[in-house]
Amino acid sequence: MKYVYPALFESAEEGGFNVSFPDVSGCFTCADSMPEAISMAEDALSMMLASYEDDGTALPASSPMEKIKQSNAIASYVLADTDEWRKKFDNKAVKKTLSIPSWLNKKAEKAGVNFSQVLKDALVAIL
């Protein structure tokens, strides 16, 4: 899923930037440069929203930019792609039990088929 939320990029006293999301409580990050801050903001927001999705928590509404208080910050929208974030960072293996016909199992084993890889490839192609 893709989401867009406004972020505030503020200069940090020690240098670099602090990033916060007014609509997403507890979602913060920081970086030494603006390009790194943008990248870190995408990652932090994607991780937080993926957690909301996993927990079944309703995602907060994204405010229009004109309602975001900017003070001394740069306000910008940040894109969060939770599917892409999971592909990069949530690759832990999960054991699944499945059933296939005995004759197919014998042929696949004889051919040296990696069952896990075949299932993963098929699921990726379908989804």
pLDDT tens for 41-100 read 999 999 999 999 999 999 999 999 988 877 789 999 999 999 999 988 877 778 888 899
Give the pLDDT of residue 55: 95
Task: Give the predicted TM-score (pTM) of the model.
Answer: 0.73
Q: Is the dihedral of CA 35, 36, 37, 38 positive or negative?
A: positive
Per domain, the residue ranges of the chain are 2-89, 93-127
pLDDT of residue 27: 97
The pLDDT of residue 25 is 94
pLDDT tens digit sequence for 4-35: 999 999 999 999 999 999 999 999 999 999 99
Decide yes or no: CATH 3.30.160.250 for domain 2-89. yes
User: Can you give the pLDDT at residue 124?
Assistant: 84
Q: List own/partner pairs for 45-49 with CB under 8 A and 24 or more apart.
A: 45/3, 45/5, 45/7, 45/21, 45/78, 45/80, 46/80, 46/81, 46/82, 46/84, 46/85, 47/85, 47/89, 48/21, 48/24, 49/1, 49/3, 49/24, 49/80, 49/82
Task: Give the pLDDT score at 54.
Answer: 93
- Cα gap 72→80, rounded to integer Å: 24
Residue 46's nearest CA partner among 86, 104, 94 is 86
pLDDT at residue number 122 = 92
